[in-house]
Amino acid sequence: MKRIWLILAAFLGLAATSLPAMADIQYTLNQGGSVGPTPFNYGTVNLHQVGTGGSAYITVTVTLSAGEVFLTTGSHSGFTWNLLGSTTPDSVTITSANAGGFTVRPFNGSYGNSPFGDFEYAIENKDTGGNGGIAGPLVFDIKRTGGLLLTDTLFSANADGNFFGSDIGTGCTFSSGKWGCAKTGVVAANTRIPEPQTWLLFFAGLAGLTALVMLQRRRKLARA
C-alpha cells in the first residue's frame, strides 16, 4: 500500500511542477455558418506566453486546416478578436513569414448579418489581386507597457459567444498561381481546447480515486 501512495505523491508532484511550464492556450475555429458545417475544425488559434515581467508579451498563431485559406480578394478581416478593456495593447506586430499579406487596424464593425462580428481588433488581409488567398499561418505579437501575461489577460467573447473570427475560403486548391475555393465565408472560435495541465490534474484525480478504492478493498479483505 505504501508503494501506491508513493506513486500517487510522485504523480501529483509532477502535475504541480508542470503547471507553470505549460503556458499555451488553444482554441479551435469550429463555427462555420454559411461557409460550411458547424461544428467543424477549420483551424486553431494558439496563444503563447513569451518572457516575464515588464517584457512579457503574447504570440498568437492562427493555423488553418488543409484546404482553408485567408481570403485576399478584396478587403477581408483575416482575423478579429476582443480583449478586455484593461488589456488594451500598445502594439500588434505581424511576425509571420507572409507578413506582407496582412495589415493591422481597429475593427469596429461587423460581418454584415453574420454572428461573427462586433470585435474590437482586426488583422486585415490585403487585396493581392488574382492570388485570392493566403494559406497561413498568421502569426502576430500583442504587447503593452508593463508586460502582458496570459494569466492576467482574457480574450473576451463577443455578443454571440465567439472569441475570434476569420474570413476564409474553404475547400481551396492552388492551381495556375491562384486559389480556387468551393465556398467563402466567416468562421469563428468559441471552444477552448483543454490544456495539458487540465489533463494532468484529471489523471491525478483519477489516480487518487483508484488508490482509495484499492485501499478500501484491501481493508475489506483484511477484515474477512
Angle at 119 between CA 46 and CA 195, to 5 degrees: 25
Residue with the larger pLDDT of the pair 21 and 111:
111
What integer pLDDT is reported at residue 65 of this predicted model? Answer: 95
Tell me the pLDDT band of 63, cut-offs 50, 70 and 90: very high
For residues 29 and 80, the answer to whether their CB atoms sit within 8 Å is no
What integer pLDDT is reported at residue 214 of this predicted model? Answer: 62
Q: Indicate the pairing of strand 76-81 with strand 68-71.
A: unpaired
| Residues forming beta bridges with residue 83, ordered by sequence position | 155
Bond preceding residue 137 cis, omega within 30 of 0:
yes
Residue 117 has pLDDT above 80, yes or no: no
DSSP H or E run through 119:
none
DSSP H or E run through 70:
strand 68-71
**Buried-state track 176-212, b at ≥16 Cβ within 10 A, e below 16:** eeebebeebbbbbbbbeeeeebeebbeebeebeeebe
What integer pLDDT is reported at residue 205 of this predicted model? Answer: 47
Contacts for 139 with CB less than 8 Å, ≥ 6 apart: 59, 60, 61, 62, 94, 95, 96
Tens-place pLDDT, residues 193-207: 875 444 344 444 455
Q: Which three cell numbers mark 119?
A: 470585435
Tell me the pLDDT band of 97, cut-offs 50, 70 and 90: confident
With pLDDT > 70 as the criterion, what percentage of the chain qualifies? 62
What integer pLDDT is reported at residue 167 of this predicted model? Answer: 86
Query: Rounded to whole angstroms, how far apart are CA atoms 200 and 13?
Result: 11
**Buried-state track 149-164, b at ≥16 Cβ within 10 A, e below 16:** beeebebeebeeebbb
Angle at 151 between CA 147 and CA 154, to 5 degrees: 90
Mean pLDDT of the chain: 74
CB-CB neighbours of 57 under 10 Å = 19
Query: Rounded to whole angstroms, how far apart are CA atoms 123 and 143?
Result: 15
Contacts for 27 with CB less than 8 Å, ≥ 6 apart: 44, 45, 47, 163, 164, 189, 190, 191, 192, 193
Tell me the pLDDT band of 5, cut-offs 50, 70 and 90: very low
What integer pLDDT is reported at residue 220 of this predicted model? Answer: 66
Whole-prediction pTM value? 0.74
Query: Rounded to whole angstroms, how far apart are CA atoms 107 and 78?
Result: 11
Residue with the larger pLDDT of the pair 112 and 43:
43
What integer pLDDT is reported at residue 91 of this predicted model? Answer: 83
Tens-place pLDDT, residues 145-185: 888 888 765 678 888 888 888 888 888 988 887 888 888 88
CB-CB neighbours of 170 under 10 Å = 21
What integer pLDDT is reported at residue 49 of this predicted model? Answer: 92
